[in-house]
A and B are shown apart, each in its own frame.
Chain A
Amino acid sequence: MSAEILVTADTEGALQAIRRGLRANRLLAIGLVMALLIVLVAILAPLLAPEAPDAVHPLQTLLPPSSAHWFGTDQLGRDLFSRVVYGARISPVIAFLVLAISCAVGIPLGIAAGYYGGRIGEVIMRVTDVFLAFPALLLALALAAVLPPSLGSVTLAVSVTWWPWYTRLVRAQAASVAGRPFVEGAKASGVSDLRILLRHVLPNSLTPLIVQVSLDVSAVILTVSALSFLGLGAQDPTPEWGLMVSQGQVYFPGQWWLVTFPGAAIVFTAVAFNLLGDGLRDVLDPRRLVTTR
């Protein structure tokens, strides 16, 4: 790393870059700790929760928060704290499922479009353009609305709207790699396409993919909880946070805890992954701007 490069690449200079790295790492650290906490809660839910999430107590309905019931109880006398804790096993898992499906569909299509190009690549990109030129939330909503209400439907609906982002991202990477001399050389010397893809194209796309996926976790969690809030996703007695807010709305604002705590859990999770994604981007890929859906 020479001074010349420093100057031409970034007038902010090394000192500030280091300081920025530290700062980004601090945000990253906070996000990471919060995210780990959520994972831990999800894993240890049976130990942390005093009751089963669906244990009904007809004589203890709508109790305010107390030492016995930290977050109070709901209209069926279920312990809200236990339900919120078990909720950590729902939204984050759905989010990872959605992102896994989106990657599984989006990445191969992006590689096909970018590496091989041609007419197929053209068609793939036009289709993704249509998807991308539209707010994902509306499409997911429209799809979830016409599918039978369930977590499976929500997963499907959100996945359908999410894959094109990865296709576009991977396509750009694959296209830039495909044109480089060492790939042309490898092709000429008879190295198989699959090998080139695995050795060169995929590793090059990995960093931006990791950043994008970590940024997307929050967006997916918010979308899923919104769909559940509208009654299109999880159904009772599933302790899904969005659904719990929706159910508590009836008793709001008198029994404020029914809405407050599950919603706060959504915010906590979304903040955790937003910080994580932001931090990762700052550290790994500082030139990209925030994206939006």
Chain B
Amino acid sequence: MSRYLLRRVALAVLVVVGVVVLTFVIARVIPGDPAASWAGPHASRQEIAQVRTELGLDLPLPQQILRYFSGVLRGNWGTSIHTHQPVLSDIMDRAPASIELVVTAIVIALVVGLPLGLASARWAHRAPDGLIRIGAVFAVSMPAFWLALILQLVFFQRLHVLPVAGQYDPNLDYTHPLTQYTRMVVVDSLITANWAVLRSGLSHLVLPALVVASYPFGVITRMVRGSELDTLGEDHVRATRALGFPERAIFGRFALKPALVPVVSVIALVFAYSLVNTFLVETIFDWPGLGSYAADSISSLDTPAIVGITLFIAVIYVIANLIVDLVQAWVDPRIALS
């Protein structure tokens, strides 16, 4: 078990390094001069040259990469060109809001997708199955940015029921100021018993979370259905039937548990995908998270920020994968033993 874990961690580190090297190399190889954009449009040739030396851009590429990684390990992720703040502190400021959004979305996707996927498998090839499958296909076919705008149109402009911008009503800052511990509004307002902000925060969370939940919902629903149907065809299910267990127990216990193993692994994938999806959604909802920071970095060609965000998400992704591996090993003993 511990050797298994060690191997996973080693592979994870390899993945993070590989991804950063890739992004780094491409950012450096392409035309364009980061030193010039750093120094600004009015900088002299001399100033640009000075910046180049400062940033280490005159070093050979492998050395630049080493320099970057040794900085990363010491907590220096470079300085953002558009905020002129350290990239790491920018990211730490913004990440909690995004993680709150994505976690809520995944929870919604699971709570809705799991039962629907099972219903789809239970009544496979009948009317409910058809409806659910078509719904799931639509869910994975929605461009997140478009869904965000359409939901705004329907729920805010037409129905006037839900707020569309920000994390909570800014007027509450005067009447019910929020003490920040985790920088996640719902969590902070919950632990400080700030009910006014909590109510406002939840209502602001609904629409963006629904948008981000769309893709994972579709994937989870299809996965649960397929996995359950696959499992129902396996030898051990037939053997369980031959022991006299009722269909209910077979479907809901003996087939369900092994069927969930591949579903767990897909959650890590959709978690990372959804985190990236917030890049498209957060600006639309004025959500002060990593996504809008990333969108700003992209539009201002802020290479250190882009590489930093890539690194951060790589790390998050790898951690999510590790957690999933552990959960899987716990659910399915075959994995830990192999």
Q: Which residues of A contact B (CB under 8 A)?
A: 10-12, 16, 19-20, 23, 27, 126-127, 129-130, 133-135, 137-139, 141-143, 145-148, 218, 222, 225-226, 229-232, 242, 245-246, 249, 252-253, 256, 259-260, 263, 266-267, 270-271, 274-275, 278, 287, 289-290, 292-293
Tell me if B232 and A137 are in contact (CB < 8 A): no
In this assembly, does B143 line the interface, its C-beta being within 8 Å of a C-beta of chain A? yes
| Cα-based distance from A218 to B142 in the complex (angstroms) | 10
Report yes or no: A245 in contact with B149, Cβ–Cβ below 8 A.
yes
Q: Are B141 and A134 in contact (CB under 8 A)?
A: no
Q: Which B residue sits closest to A9, measured CB to CB?
A: B233
Nearest-Cβ distance from residue B153 to partner chain A, whole angstroms: 5
For this complex, 27 residue pairs linking A to B, each with C-beta atoms less than 8 Å apart, are A11-B233, A12-B232, A20-B125, A126-B14, A130-B15, A130-B19, A133-B318, A134-B317, A135-B276, A137-B277, A138-B310, A141-B279, A226-B144, A232-B298, A242-B143, A253-B156, A256-B153, A263-B150, A267-B138, A267-B141, A270-B141, A270-B143, A289-B226, A290-B222, A292-B219, A292-B270, A292-B273
Closest residue of B by beta carbon distance from A30: B134
Set of chain A residues within 8 Å of B294, measured between Cβ atoms: 141
Contact B141 A226 (CB under 8 A): no
Q: For A260, what are the chain B residues with a Cβ–Cβ distance below 8 Å? A: 150, 153
Whether A231 and B15, one on each chain, are in contact in the complex, defined by CB atoms closer than 8 angstroms, is no
Q: Does B306 contact A (CB under 8 A)?
A: yes
Main secondary structure of the interface of B (DSSP, over half): helix
Which residues of chain B come closer than 8 Å to A266, judged between CB atoms? 143, 146
- Whether B63 is near chain A, meaning CB under 8 Å from some CB there, is no
Instruction: List the B side residues contacting A287 at CB < 8 Å.
Output: 230
- Nearest opposing residue in chain B for A245, CB measure: B146
Known: A147-B26, A249-B284. 13 other contacts (CB 8 A): A11-B238, A130-B22, A134-B19, A137-B273, A139-B310, A145-B297, A148-B32, A222-B141, A230-B295, A245-B146, A263-B150, A267-B138, A270-B143
Pairwise interchain contact B138-A138, C-beta atoms closer than 8 A: no
Total CB contacts across the A-B interface at under 8 A: 167
Residues of chain B lying within 8 A (CB to CB) of residue A27: 133
B227 at the interface (CB under 8 A from A): yes
CB distance from A176 to the nearest CB of B (A): 19
User: Which residue on A lies nearest to B222, using beta carbons?
Assistant: A290
The CA-CA distance from A36 to B329 in the complex, in Å, is 45
Whether the pair B230, A145 counts as a contact (CB closer than 8 A) is no
Closest to A218 in B: B141
- The interface residues of chain A lying within 8 Å CB-to-CB of B262 are 289
A139:B22 contact, CB within 8 angstroms:
yes
Bitwise interface map of B from 295 to 318 toward A, beta carbon under 8 Å scored 1, else 0: 101110101001101100110011
**A146 adjacent to B143 (CB under 8 Å):** no
Tell me the complex Cα distance, A143–B125, Å.
42
A290 to B132, CA, bound (A): 15
Tell me if B61 is interfacial: C-beta within 8 Å of chain A: no
